[in-house]
Amino acid sequence: MNAPAGTAAGGIVVRPLQERDRDRWRELWDLYLAFYGQELDAEVTAATWRRLLACEHGMGALVATDGEGHVVGLAHHVVHAGTWSTKPVCYLEDLVVDPGFRGRGYGRALIDALVSRAAALGCGNLYWHTAGDNAAARRLYDRVATLSEYVRYDIELPDTGGDTEGEGPR
């Protein structure tokens, strides 16, 4: 799921995540998790990195770089089938920009690049969630997307120890 590199205004370049980005990706990933008050086992972070880099299970990642090529933002996404369309849909799962670069177009460039990527993959729509009190991000999101009226519910499932990936209902 590699996307072509693209240059936005201000020398922002958005490109696919690469192996060389590992350390910076980890810094931004840790920043993102801390913002949402989350701690993940090292095993989960390692698996996430591997899946993003290999584009497994519809997962992919784009990074935004500054004019000198330093990674300053990232967007993780998952392309999946849906039940309300014959086209796949794209879920923007995680988006983060280094605090020193916020408000300068990096988040917008990541979203714009993902819109192009999802369209190229034949997706019917792109969607995401954010915390209700994430005012800074919501200012951007309100400019580029339509706020949905849906409410999200979660159920934490027990770890059964089995690998049932790909199994459907029985």
pLDDT tens digits, residue range 87-128?
Answer: 999 999 999 999 999 999 999 999 999 999 999 999 999 999
Q: What is the C-alpha separation between 114 and 118, in angstroms, rounded?
A: 6
DSSP annotation of 118: H
What integer pLDDT is reported at residue 151 of this predicted model?
A: 76
CATH 3.40.630.30 applies to domain 6-144: yes
The residue among 147 and 170 whose pLDDT is bigger is 147
What integer pLDDT is reported at residue 127 of this predicted model?
A: 94
What integer pLDDT is reported at residue 104 of this predicted model?
A: 94
- pTM for this predicted structure: 0.85
CB-CB contact of 1 with 60 (8 Å): yes
CB-CB contact of 1 with 105 (8 Å): no
For the chain, the domains span 6-144
